[in-house]
Amino acid sequence: MMRNVRVLPPSSGLASPAGCAWAALSPAWRRALMLLGLAWLGNLVVFASDWKAMALQWWDSSTYNHILLIPFILGWLISLRWREVLKITPHGWWPGLIPFTGASLLWLLGHFAGVALATQLAVVLMAQASVLVVLGLRASAGLLFPLAYMLFLVPAGDELIPALQNITAAITMALLDISRVPAQIEGVFITTPGGYFEVAEACSGVKFLIAMIAYGALVANVCFRAWPRRIGFMALCVATPILANGVRAWGTIYIAQSHGIEFAVGFDHIFYGWIFFAVVMALVMAAAWRFFDRAIDDRMIDADAIAASGLVQRLERFGIGAGRGVAAMGGIVLLAAAWALGASRIEAEVPRQIFFPQVPGWRQVDYQPLALWQPRHAGADHVLLGRFIDARGHVVDVSFALYAAQGDGREASGFGEGALTPDSGWSWERNPAPLAGGSAMRIQTAGPVYRLAETFYRTGNVLTGSNARLRLANLADRLLLQKATTATLIVSAEDSVEGRPPAAESMRAFLDAIGPVGAWMDRAASGS
């Protein structure tokens, strides 16, 4: 005979923990979270290309692999605050539509200018602003740090690479001098008796710096209460990886003096790549440990204090129904998307074929560089690359590209476009003074072979060497739905070549011969 056994009726079922948690929520919270989920789903669908581009960078780029952990960290941060947040009743808040509209405008401008960082930042800002609109000011205040931490989802930091290369090179040279290793530096290239070294982009330390900043922000919030301590810890998290990377570069060069370059590089990849920075991170935590001032059982937020805030009470009067807020956000997004679609269909007319205009005193010859160099102009409708020579022995290489429009995959001033193409074997050395108002750089490749190049952009009546100035001009055209071609001119010459004049002299002679640069570019773009 069976006893103490209860047979469940067919309609009964065992609820999952998630189901129990959902059932425990008040009706107001269930409705608010469903509307917020709808807003975020719409964000993912409408801006799928931006989220996909971010996800690919998280997965493919070692610089941003740490971002794969950010969604899990966000979930954990929210869980630390959730009990207190649930004490707050969610109320829609219409002023949240202001940052949402600003983020939508940022996305539109970034889309028009072809700046992926701007569009990706914008979609994250829209997700943050959605919380303000749907959950209201009090709940958003309770979730302030997790919302702010969402910014680390944006893969940003590559812009720091040139500056970090120079800083690393400077630290390396200082340490080489202290350790009495004779060395010479030219840009980011260092020559010692042990070999010829480049502080390459991969050696800039940007990967560790970005990850350390994200980690430092997390620790500063979770382990500290006092703002001076938080600021001091963040300063440590910024300075330490920069200094450590300089030590890493110096160590590689120093070891190469006695064991050879191959051994030093292998040692760098194994020890410095996997062990050194782990040790540095541990030392940072060890140094900060004694200054932690948040107890393990401290509440991360105080819902009662938020509710009692006079400022919050005054601002909370500007309420809106959460459903109406979601509808308003949808309308704003559709307007931005429609504007972007209309602008993307506008292209200026370009000739079927273009040619280099005649240059008095110069003739075009076969292009035979000492080391292969070919600028990148992705998405251009026409590209010309040629070599010119005059009777005095000046030799100049000229690259010209013409675009009917600017957009995704066809930005004249986009990353990796122009004179210095990534993974081409050429590396940036320095930025000398321009010869004719363009943007000048000196680059080099194995040999070594040196090249000086000056870049000019032309759109409408604008002639500039500035990427930012070109983007602003293109942006204005697309905002006003105006058609305009964009052209890139790169005047270049190999430098320090025996038997030839200096590159700057050759380029100056060519620029003097063509006359006003903008007018010459217009003739090349006309196809006549």
Residues 203 and 320 in one domain: no
Q: Is the pLDDT of residue 195 over 70?
A: yes
173-193: pLDDT as tens digits: 999 999 999 988 887 888 888
Q: Is residue 296 part of a domain?
A: no
Mean pLDDT score, 103-121 = 91
Q: Is residue 34 part of a domain?
A: yes
Q: Is residue 291 part of a domain?
A: no
pLDDT computed for residue 419 by the predictor: 95
Is 114:407 a contact under the CB 8 Å cutoff?
yes
Residues 320 and 202 in one domain: no
Residues 324 and 178 in one domain: no
Residues 33 and 82 in one domain: yes
pLDDT computed for residue 170 by the predictor: 92
Q: Assign 299 a pLDDT band (cuts: 50, 70, 90).
A: confident
Domain extent, residue 262, equals 159-275
Cα separation, 505 vs 490, whole angstroms:
16
Q: Assign 260 a pLDDT band (cuts: 50, 70, 90).
A: low
β-pairing, 195-198 with 395-403? unpaired
Is 265:201 a contact under the CB 8 Å cutoff?
no
Residues 513 and 371 in one domain: yes
Of residues 255 and 433, more confidence is placed in 433
pLDDT computed for residue 241 by the predictor: 93
| Residue-by-residue DSSP string for 460-490 | TTEEES-HHHHHHHHHHHHHTT----EEEEE
Length of the chain: 528
| Among candidate residues 35, 46, 50, the one with its CA nearest the CA of residue 130 | 35
Q: What percent of the chain has pLDDT over 90?
A: 61
Q: Is the pLDDT of residue 11 over 50?
A: no
Residues 168 and 98 in one domain: no
Residue 15 host element (H or E): none
Q: Assign 5 a pLDDT band (cuts: 50, 70, 90).
A: very low
Q: Give how many domains the chain has, as a whole number.
A: 3
76-95: pLDDT as tens digits: 999 999 999 999 889 899 99
Residue 251 Cα to chain centre, angstroms: 29
Lowest mean pLDDT among 243-247, 344-348, 396-400, 505-509: 344-348
pLDDT computed for residue 255 by the predictor: 82
34-69: pLDDT as tens digits: 999 999 999 999 999 999 999 999 999 888 999 999
Residues 100 and 141 in one domain: yes
Is 470:486 a contact under the CB 8 Å cutoff?
yes
Residues 412 and 269 in one domain: no
Residues 199 and 117 in one domain: no
Cα separation, 148 vs 133, whole angstroms:
16
Mean pLDDT score, 107-136 = 93
Q: What percent of the chain has pLDDT over 70?
A: 94
Give the pair of three-digit tokens for residue 373.
């160099």
Q: How far apart are the first and last CA of the chain?
A: 104
CB under 8 A, 24+ apart: contacts of 18-27: 25/86, 26/86, 26/89
Q: Is the pLDDT of residue 264 over 70?
A: no
pLDDT computed for residue 93 by the predictor: 92
Is 401:380 a contact under the CB 8 Å cutoff?
yes
Cα separation, 466 vs 487, whole angstroms:
13
Mean pLDDT score, 363-381 = 94
Q: Is the pLDDT of residue 120 over 60?
A: yes
Q: Is the pLDDT of residue 456 over 80?
A: yes
Q: Assign 404 a pLDDT band (cuts: 50, 70, 90).
A: very high
Of residues 250 and 457, more confidence is placed in 457
Q: Is residue 375 part of a domain?
A: yes
CA 309-315-317 angle, 5° bins = 110
Looking at every residue in the chain, the average pLDDT score rounds to 89
Mean pLDDT score, 465-481 = 89
Q: Is the pLDDT of residue 265 over 70?
A: no
Q: Is the pLDDT of residue 247 over 50?
A: yes
Residues 517 and 386 in one domain: yes
Helix axes 161-178, 206-223, angle to 10 degrees: 100
Q: Is the pLDDT of residue 1 over 60?
A: no
What pTM does this model have?
0.82
Q: Is residue 289 part of a domain?
A: no
Q: Is residue 351 part of a domain?
A: no
Q: Is residue 3 part of a domain?
A: no
Q: Is residue 452 part of a domain?
A: yes
Mean pLDDT score, 115-141 = 94
Mean pLDDT score, 113-136 = 94
Q: Is the pLDDT of residue 6 over 70?
A: no
Q: Assign 12 a pLDDT band (cuts: 50, 70, 90).
A: very low
Give the pair of three-digit tokens for residue 210.
């970005």
pLDDT computed for residue 408 by the predictor: 74
Residues 256 and 366 in one domain: no
Q: Is the pLDDT of residue 15 over 70?
A: no
| Among candidate residues 212, 243, 225, the one with its CA nearest the CA of residue 301 | 225
Residues 137 and 176 in one domain: no
Cα separation, 142 vs 438, whole angstroms:
50
